Amino acid sequence: MSSQDEQIQQRRANLGELAKLGVEIYPHAFARRHQVAQLAEGYGGRSREELEAERIETITSGRILAIRSFGKASFLVLSDGLAKIQVYIRQDSMPALDFQIFKLLDFGDWVGVEGHLFRTKTHELTIWASRLHFLAKCLLPLPEKWHGLTDVEIRYRQRYLDLIVNPDSRRVFEARSRLVSAVRAFMDARGYLEVETPMMQPIAGGALARPFTTHHNTLDMDLYLRIAPELYLKRLTVGGLEKVFEINRNFRNEGISTQHNPEFTMMEFYEAYSDYRSLMVMTEEMIATVARQVIGTDQITFGKHHISLGAPFARLSLREAVRDAAGRKLGCDVSDAELRQRDTAASIAQQLGLASQAGHGPGEVTTDIFEALCEDRLIQPTFVYDFPTEVSPLSKQKADDPDTVERFELYIGGLEVANAFSELNDPAEQRRRFEDQLHDRARGDLEAHAMDEDYIRALEYGLPPTAGEGVGIDRLVMLLTNSPSIRDVILFPLMRRRDERSATND
């Protein structure tokens, strides 16, 4: 028998013994007076004498993370996931049945404890137990206390184990929760209305990406999981909701990497009468405010970089960034005009050693160069602005330059954290852009945007001048928690299915 099977059998036997003693082995509730964390916080500063004088009685509960036994006296370490407290168990301080229960406990079990607080010889805050209540059994052996759990595969697949033994992991997800709250509070305070738009869409629009498909049986209708909420949120602006936002999941059927999970969380918002310039200012303020609320500072460490999230952020036009980087690499001047023409742009890309995609226009080539040369160098927060119209089918052109749209992306730590633009609200131009996308699609570009007649109709009813933005929540959490992989900030990242045999052998 394997060590694991043996331990499971021993734990089951202990559970059986508890039942024989008449103990309810799966009790329904437990009324506690304090959480472990409340004890640690509230009484961690009390001296031995103070505790003796006050005689603080408590009832608390948690998971047993250690048992140190000395025969007739023992110590348990109890955790509520946030904090730990030690429990002193001695035979002559509790009913005989409770001590029998204690002897049948295993590392990992859930228990309730009654008793008073004191300090041991070594000054540790401890509960002197007068009662012990069995709450639930841990039938499987837990990872060890000292090295914790480092196998990333088990950490992702069995997140509960990660959370039990790795306090840092718990902290990451607490920070994530605070971040979502802080972003919501920031938007609330500015009068934005939080809405929820469809996750299942008949046309997957609002971004250039490949969708997941699904099917509704009763309607016998194919649907897509949304790649973005954009077109629905702008319909709401047409409907007169001047400031809206949504925090929710997007799904993109694409590659997986340290920066990409097939489902990810985005905060997307739209504001009538605004433009991309105003959104830069608002975004700077949001990032710095949220950082201070979540981690108490706007100065962060990300990998080997120190990054300041304090406003203002750097601003860099996309074509300038590309001209600069390409020019430096090639040792010659690259002009704006060269980047705007298909043949010259393609030739520059070729000289840079970038495989030119058939059918890519000058705008796409320019963004390809940007992604290859510039993206991962943008460590300090930087707004990259003014994108080629060709790669931005939903953005509004600059008044004096139809090749260029009013759009920016925010980069921090080499990660694309936000994407925003002044919204295209001319229905005739929007139809032309969609038609261009259809040509790309016909050419085999699976990410090209589909035609959305109802969206154009909505624009025909009149969308006021509007600016909109999407903020990648997962990537912001990565930055604020110094997590190198998006999987470290998603509780249950998508993993390949394992066959049953190796799964049961975990």
**The binder of RNA chosen from 213, 214, 258, 301 (CB under 7 A):** 258
Q: Which residue has the tokens 């992991």?
A: 169
Single out the segment in contact with RNA by CB under 7 A; choices: 28-36, 71-79, 275-283, 424-432. Answer: 71-79
The binding track of 377-406 with respect to RNA, each residue x by CB under 7 A or -, is: ----------x---xx--------------
Kindly identify the residues of this chain, within the stretch 428-457, that bind RNA according to CB under 7 A. 447
* 221 binds RNA, rule: CB under 7 A: no
C-alpha gyration radius of the chain: 29
CA–CA dist 164, 110 (Å, integer): 12
CA–CA dist 293, 290 (Å, integer): 5
Q: Is 495 helix (H, G, I), strand (E, B) or coil?
A: coil
Dihedral sign, CA of 156, 157, 159, 164?
Answer: negative
Task: Tell me how far, at minimum, the Cβ of 125 lies from RNA, in Å.
Answer: 9
Task: Tell me how far, at minimum, the Cβ of 294 lies from RNA, in Å.
Answer: 22
CA 64 to chain centre: 29
CA–CA dist 212, 257 (Å, integer): 18
**The binder of RNA chosen from 122, 219, 304, 337 (CB under 7 A):** 122
* 329 binds RNA, rule: CB under 7 A: no
Judge residue 442's burial from the number of C-beta atoms within 10 Å of its C-beta, 0-12 exposed, 13-18 middle, 19 or more buried.
Answer: exposed
**Which amino acid is it at 280?**
M
* 331 binds RNA, rule: CB under 7 A: no
H helical segments located in 148-275: 152-157, 159-165, 167-189, 230-238
The binding track of 342-381 with respect to RNA, each residue x by CB under 7 A or -, is: -------------x-x---------x---xx---x-----
Instruction: Quote the tokens at residue 205.
Output: 């629009």
* 144 binds RNA, rule: CB under 7 A: yes
Q: Is 85 helix (H, G, I), strand (E, B) or coil?
A: strand
Task: Tell me how far, at minimum, the Cβ of 119 lies from RNA, in Å.
Answer: 7
Instruction: Quote the tokens at residue 184.
Output: 């919501």
Q: Which of 200, 196, 195, 202 is nearest to 454 (CA)?
A: 202
* 52 binds RNA, rule: CB under 7 A: no
CA–CA dist 477, 107 (Å, integer): 33
Q: Which is nearer to RNA, 125 or 182 (CB)?
A: 125
Task: Tell me how far, at minimum, the Cβ of 206 lies from RNA, in Å.
Answer: 10
Kindly identify the residues of this chain, within the stretch 5-34, that bind RNA according to CB under 7 A. 6-7, 10
Single out the segment in contact with RNA by CB under 7 A; choices: 31-39, 273-281, 284-292, 496-504. Answer: 496-504
Kindly identify the residues of this chain, within the stretch 80-99, that bind RNA according to CB under 7 A. 86, 88, 90-92
* 270 binds RNA, rule: CB under 7 A: no
Task: Tell me how far, at minimum, the Cβ of 473 lies from RNA, in Å.
Answer: 13
Kindly identify the residues of this chain, within the stretch 146-165, that bind RNA according to CB under 7 A. 146-154, 156
**The binder of RNA chosen from 289, 389, 419, 422 (CB under 7 A):** 419
Are the C-beta atoms of 433 and 193 separated by less than 8 Å?
A: no
Q: Which of 368, 375, 402 is nearest to 316 (CA)?
A: 375
Are the C-beta atoms of 369 and 325 separated by less than 8 Å?
A: yes
Single out the segment in contact with RNA by CB under 7 A; choices: 143-151, 235-243, 281-289, 422-430. Answer: 143-151
Single out the segment in contact with RNA by CB under 7 A; choices: 35-43, 120-128, 196-204, 425-433. Answer: 120-128
Task: Tell me how far, at minimum, the Cβ of 122 lies from RNA, in Å.
Answer: 3
Are the C-beta atoms of 450 and 441 separated by less than 8 Å?
A: yes
* 414 binds RNA, rule: CB under 7 A: no
**The binder of RNA chosen from 47, 177, 257, 335 (CB under 7 A):** 257
Site size with RNA, rule: CB under 7 A: 83
Single out the segment in contact with RNA by CB under 7 A; choices: 32-40, 281-289, 427-435, 489-497. Answer: 489-497
Phi and psi angles of residue 66, each rounded to the nearest 5 degrees, phi first = -165, 150
Which distant-in-sequence residues (6+ apart) come within 8 Å of 281 by Cβ?
A: 311
